[in-house]
Every structure is written in C-alpha cells, then in structure tokens.
Structure 1
Amino acid sequence: MLGGISIWQLLIVLGIIILIFGTKKLRNVGGDLGGAVKGFKKAMHEDEKDKENEADKPQAKVSHDDEGDTYDVKAERKVEDQEERK
C-alpha cells in the first residue's frame, strides 16, 4: 500500500491523534484548513480573471479624428553613435 504502512497502522495512529487532541479540536483545525484552501482557490480564480481582462484591453488608444495635428519627424543618429561605428 503506502510504502509498507497497512490500514491498521493508519487507524491506530488516527486513534492516538483523536485521544491526544480530541474530536472538537480536530474539527476546528479541519474547518480552518478547508477555509484556507477555499480562499486560496478563490484568489487564484480571481487572479486568472484579472489577467484575462487585462489581455482584452488595448494598451493605448490612438485617434485620427483631427487632421490638422500632423507632425513630420526626421530620424537622425547622434554624433556619438556615428563616431563609435567608424
């Protein structure tokens, strides 16, 4: 089975744990653990939704409605870049 551990050995260990901690304490620990797992899953699901929503949104919006705002740009290299390439 589980690496040589039989079901009877697991039941004995479970019985000892119940005797030491009691059923009420174990129930509280189980409820807290379950709540933590649910919270973690919910946070992961919300994070995935946020990433999907970000992917759908455009990064920038460009409007070409105003025809009068046109800029002519000429790209030039800096003198330092030209000297380094020689």
Structure 2
Amino acid sequence: MTYTLGDVNRDGEINAVDASSVLAYYAMTSTNQDGGYDEDQKTAADVNHDGDINAVDASSILAYYAYTATTKEEIMSMEEYMKKLK
C-alpha cells in the first residue's frame, strides 16, 4: 500500500479530518494504547519526519489545509509545504 503525506484516512484529501485523526492517534498512544494506524498511516501522519506522531504533525496538517483552502495560486504539495517551513 502507498501513502500520501498528510492524508492519514486515505480519502484523497488533506484536511481537518486528518488533523483530528492524528490528534486522536496521539492521545491514544500517549496513554500507552494502540492508535490503530497501520505503517502507511504512520508514515503519512509524521509530516515533519521527526519520528513522532503528535500535535505538531496535526497542527501542520491543519495549517496545510488552511493554505489549500485560501490560496489563489497553484497549490504546492504537502511535501513542498513542509520543506518550505524548515
């Protein structure tokens, strides 16, 4: 299976639903419970590639969604967006 960075629920969109899912995953794993993600979802969720899936990733996904919803120019990919933030 493949993944798209930020699209953790695999619906073809990167949006607030994905950010919410990442927060729920983080809450579960923070309390030593299974977050329910497979390996591709974990890779898609770790948008800043720091090895952790947490609120920072959720915030970045939400920021990207806001960017895509408001830009009038050609929309860059999540990968490009994250590189630009560094």
TM-score by length of 2: 0.28
Decide which structure has greater helix share. Answer: 1
The structure whose RCO (Cα within 8 Å, separation 6+) is larger is 2
The structure with the larger Rg is 1
TM-score by length of 1: 0.28
